[in-house]
Amino acid sequence: MLVARAGPARSLRCSLYTTTTTRGLRTVPTLPDASLETFRREALSPETPALLPRGTFNHFPAVSKWFTPPSASHPLTLNQAYLTRYGPTLVPLEITHDGQFARLEHSLSFFLECVLANASTFRTWPSRRYFSAFVPGARGIRRTTVSNHFFSASAVTAPTARVYLAQAALADLPQGLRADVPTPGLVLEAGKGDVYASSIWLGVAPTYTPLHRDPNPNLFVQLAGRKRVRLFSPGAGRNVFAKVQDDIGGGGSANLRGVEMMEGRERAALEEEVWGRDDLYRNSAFEAELGGGDGLFIPKGWWHSFKGTGEGMTGSVNWWFR
């Protein structure tokens, strides 16, 4: 556990580790250390977003076990040799295709095939009809190692759909995988000690999670790859959501979010409002970029949206706790 620095040294440390945004948005403050006392005092109690010092969670076994480091010729990818041990495990997959969205369960081995296949030639396999039932017009192809395209409604050379292992409950995974992402002491000790839920997120960049809020505090850890996040306070986020609903003539509830935020007009409008209106939200939006081993605390009720950036895999885990 890191030891806090006092006085001028603390200010220097915060400056060194604070993520710099390129669009003039407010930066999420970085805690001077990862101690329980500091976390409670400067993040949990005041209910303000905060980054943990860079690399706080580099010790997680998943960081080295689940991913293969990038090279000059290949981006970061999954360690297939290790993860195929758990191939039969059912995981939730999100498929987006030409403005359509479907969520289904399939084996981890299938997801690995989506991510790691080396050819992009059309495959006439039985799963073709299976996927068309979920995403009309989608055709299975083998993807390249530098994109997350897996389905096409027309030419095989121009696939349009993406596959994302999203919000896979950690409790539903085999013990070996759960052991690779141990629950942080901050989650177990800072609050009441109980975890409401925890999830795994794996996909090839770019990935996207629309603006939403959670009913519990959230500790988010980036395992590999990079993600950008934008956050709004409860009031500011509610205003953004209400504006989008007015713009599209929608009647969505801010308290109960479902598949509607993942497809169609609402998805596009939310993304444009949150990520395309930098000048409008310069004083109300926070932004941070997380790399492997980095952690972010998101207070209860704070609205947030994530984007996986760069090339290759991006992997994350989070815990909602009381």
DSSP state of 47: T
Delineate the domains of the chain, giving CATH numbers in brackets: 16-63+167-321 (2.60.120.650), 77-166 (no CATH)
Tell me the HSE value of 213 on the side-chain side, using a 13 A CA sphere: 22
Residue type, 106: H
Residues of the chain with pLDDT under 70: 1-23, 99, 116-161, 252-263
| Predicted local confidence at residue 122, as pLDDT | 37
Alpha carbon distance 103, 299 (integer Å): 27
Alpha carbon distance 319, 199 (integer Å): 7
Which of 149, 159, 140, 163 lies closest to 94, judged by CA? 163
| Predicted local confidence at residue 156, as pLDDT | 40
pTM of the model: 0.81
CB-based contacts of 246, cutoff 8 Å, min separation 6: none
Q: How many CB atoms lie under 10 A from the CB of residue 193?
A: 10
| Predicted local confidence at residue 263, as pLDDT | 67
| Predicted local confidence at residue 9, as pLDDT | 36
| Predicted local confidence at residue 226, as pLDDT | 96
| DSSP-assigned letters across all residues of 85-119 | GGTT-EEEEEEEETTEEEEEEEEHHHHHHHHH---
Alpha carbon distance 72, 251 (integer Å): 48
| Predicted local confidence at residue 17, as pLDDT | 41
Cα-based distances in Å from 318 to 194, 222, 321 = 14, 9, 10
